[in-house]
Amino acid sequence: MQSLAISTLTICGIEELPSHSVRRVTHVLSVLDPDLPEIDTFGTYGEHHRVTLRFHDIIDPAEGKVHPVAEHVGQILQFGESLREGLSERVEGHLLVHCHMGISRSTAAMLALMAQNDADAGEDEPFERLRSVRPQAWPNSVMIGFADEQLGCKGRLIEALRRHYRHQLKAQPQFNDWMTTLGRGRELEMAV
């Protein structure tokens, strides 16, 4: 299985960001709620390249909320292209992708980057790698749908996402309650 064009991968939530300031992070992809203020923690990081996207972690449109759209995933994939293009200038690097909790938007973003980087891998391989980086990964299904479409996967990423959800519900049954509470029952149904 190929790696991204960067040597170290981290997925986390906002509360975990301070602990990564000493880890020489070179690239950050922040996926934040639109109304969240800028995060001061990045001032303690060394020199790094950062891209910030702002939308809510929802799977159905809701009044007053910014739904993830194809353009957001397109920006994530553009970020992935910039990682690949900068490979010759970099000996090693550390990519940190985060959202509020490090469970849904950030894991969907990292999965899209992994699938983009290794188009020849089986569709389950990026999910296995994702779980090794972030065991509590529950990628946002809307984002994965856009990634599947933009990467030309013809539904294979969606089918692998179903298997991933099934795996996560067996490994971490608390997801059933969490996703029900968050109104993500449609994702739970995908696992059946």
Single pTM value for the model: 0.94
Whole-number mean pLDDT of the chain? 93
Please tell me the distance from the alpha carbon of residue 144 to that of residue 122, in angstroms, as a whole number: 16
pLDDT at 159: 97
What is the mean predicted confidence (pLDDT) over 171-183?
95
Enter the tokens of residue 76.
């994530």
Band of residue 2 on the pLDDT scale cut at 50, 70, 90: very low
**Of residues 99, 80, 83, 76, the one with CA closest to residue 17:** 99
pLDDT tens-digit series, residues 71-128: 999 999 999 998 887 665 655 789 999 999 999 999 999 999 999 988 778 889 999 9
Percentage, residues of the chain above pLDDT 70: 94
Enter the tokens of residue 89.
């200038």
Please tell me the distance from the alpha carbon of residue 37 to that of residue 31, in angstroms, as a whole number: 12
Taking 90 as the threshold, does the pLDDT of residue 67 lie above it? Answer: yes
Q: How many CA atoms lie within 13 A of 41 on its CB side?
A: 16
Please tell me the distance from the alpha carbon of residue 74 to that of residue 72, in angstroms, as a whole number: 5
Of the ranges 83-92, 156-165, 181-190, which one carries the lowest mean pLDDT score? 83-92
pLDDT at 86: 67
* 137 in Cβ contact with 131 (< 8 Å): yes
What is the mean predicted confidence (pLDDT) over 170-187?
95
Element (H, E) at 101: none
Where are the extended beta strands (E) located within 83-157? 94-98
* 176 in Cβ contact with 169 (< 8 Å): yes
Using the CB atoms, write b or e for 142-168: b if 16+ within 10 Å.
bbbbbbbebbebeeebbebbbebbebb
pLDDT tens-digit series, residues 126-142: 999 999 999 999 999 99
Cβ atoms within 10 Å of 110's Cβ, excluding its own: 29
